Structure 1
Amino acid sequence: MPELIEPTGRLHAAWIEAHAEWGPGVHEDGFGLLPTDDVGSTAGFAAWVERLAGESERCTYRWIVEDGQVLGGIALRHEGHHLAPRAGHIGYGIRPTGRRRGLATWALGRMVREAEVRGMERLLVVCKAGNAASARTIERHGGILEDDAGNGAVLRYWIRTDRLQDLR
């Protein structure tokens, strides 16, 4: 059974394995990875995890873990977070071998509940226009399509936290 956990240095090797599936770069939404983060070294990885913990007033980061494997990440950007208007209040990514198991739907539901506990009533969640799986995940949680940001590349959905269904 998967679980959502706070980022931890003890899963360095498992995180590196997941990151390798995506390939080089910082494209895995939900992990808070910046181009300046040195996740390859033990010290750099520890500094990155510490940075994420230090941002807990602005963003809640969780890793999706099962049997010691990092399957993905999800981030809840709190009200007023500078990335929320562009990247959404919630961002997530599932490693390629973890997809098609309902993990994103499961994790999104838990983060929407977390947002409700924090008093957030509406959440912006975005995905690439061609990402049908992510669009379905958002729609399963009541996401209402706002627009395509004027360029057709990004879909913008709004989820009301008081309408969350229990999806397992």
Structure 2
Amino acid sequence: MPELIDPTVRLAPSFTAALHEFIAEGGGTGDSGTDTIIRNYLRPGDEWAAEYVADVLAWRTTAPPGFVPFTTLWWAEGDTYLGRIAIRHTLNAHLMEVGGHIGYDVRPSARRRGHATAMLAAALPVAAALGIDRALITCDADNTASRKVIEKNGGVLDDRRGDKLRFWTPTAADRDEEP
């Protein structure tokens, strides 16, 4: 059964294969977290993964310039990398508009199997433990699949800003409370 785990070099071959799946569908040129990994880390072989894993674990307390601290977790089953979720500990002005507290992606070959919904559900208690009472989660207005994932996890549409929809989603902290 898939679970959230800390990024690990043990899954480097599967993670590398997933990044190549993203590239095959046109990824690597945008501004998503996966695009950034492809541009800044991916090199032939799997050796680059140790640098990435060390960096991403360090960013939980000391973020790179221009970023807020964030926790990245991988959705994995055994030695198979299925997806990635990033929980930003705080919001800056940019994240309040377009990025939100949580961003996620599922590797192309694992999509349409409920992984994104399950991964977000598993990550909400982590967000609560980080002190996030309600998580802002955004998606492109034309991304129906992502919108359904957010709504299945209790996300309530707040507004649309440009091409982004903004949802406030209860974390585990508020899920146990009476309405």
Q: State how 1:131-142 maps to structure 2 within 5 Å.
A: 131-142=143-154
Q: In 2, are the aligned partners of 1:21 and 1:95 still within 8 Å (CA)?
A: yes
Structure 2 residue 56 is the aligned partner of structure 1 residue 44: no
Give the secondary-structure state (helix, strand or coil) at the position aligned to 2:81: strand
Tell me which residue corresponds to 2:71.
60
Shift of residue 33, structure 1, vs aligned partner: 2.3
When the two chains are superposed, the root-mean-square deviation of aligned CA atoms in Å is 2.3
- Cα distance in 1 for partners of 2:105, 2:31 equals 6
- Cα distance in 2 for partners of 1:43, 1:82 equals 35
Letter of the structure 1 residue corresponding to residue 57 of structure 2? A
- Cα distance in 1 for partners of 2:42, 2:148 equals 34
- 1:104/1:12 CA distance change after superposition, 3 Å: same
In structure 2, runs of 5+ residues without a counterpart are 62-68
- 1:6/1:65 CA distance change after superposition, 3 Å: same
Tell me which residue corresponds to 2:169.
159
The number of aligned residues is 163
- 1:61/1:88 CA distance change after superposition, 3 Å: same
Shift of residue 80, structure 1, vs aligned partner: 4.2
Q: Which has the higher helix share?
A: 2
Give the secondary-structure state (helix, strand or coil) at the position aligned to 1:156: strand
- 1:81/1:45 CA distance change after superposition, 3 Å: farther
- Cα distance in 2 for partners of 1:8, 1:59 equals 16
Moved more, 70-79 or 83-92: 83-92
In structure 1, runs of 5+ residues without a counterpart are none
Q: In 2, are the aligned partners of 1:18 and 1:95 still within 8 Å (CA)?
A: yes
Shift of residue 130, structure 1, vs aligned partner: 1.3
Tell me which residue corresponds to 1:8.
8
- Cα distance in 2 for partners of 1:28, 1:105 equals 22
Q: In 2, are the aligned partners of 1:142 and 1:164 still within 8 Å (CA)?
A: no
Structure 2 residue 28 is the aligned partner of structure 1 residue 25: yes
Q: In 1, are the aligned partners of 2:137 and 2:166 still within 8 Å (CA)?
A: yes
TM-score (norm 1): 0.85
Shift of residue 160, structure 1, vs aligned partner: 2.3
- 1:84/1:144 CA distance change after superposition, 3 Å: same
Give the secondary-structure state (helix, strand or coil) at the position aligned to 1:100: coil
Tell me which residue corresponds to 1:91.
103
TM-score (norm 2): 0.80
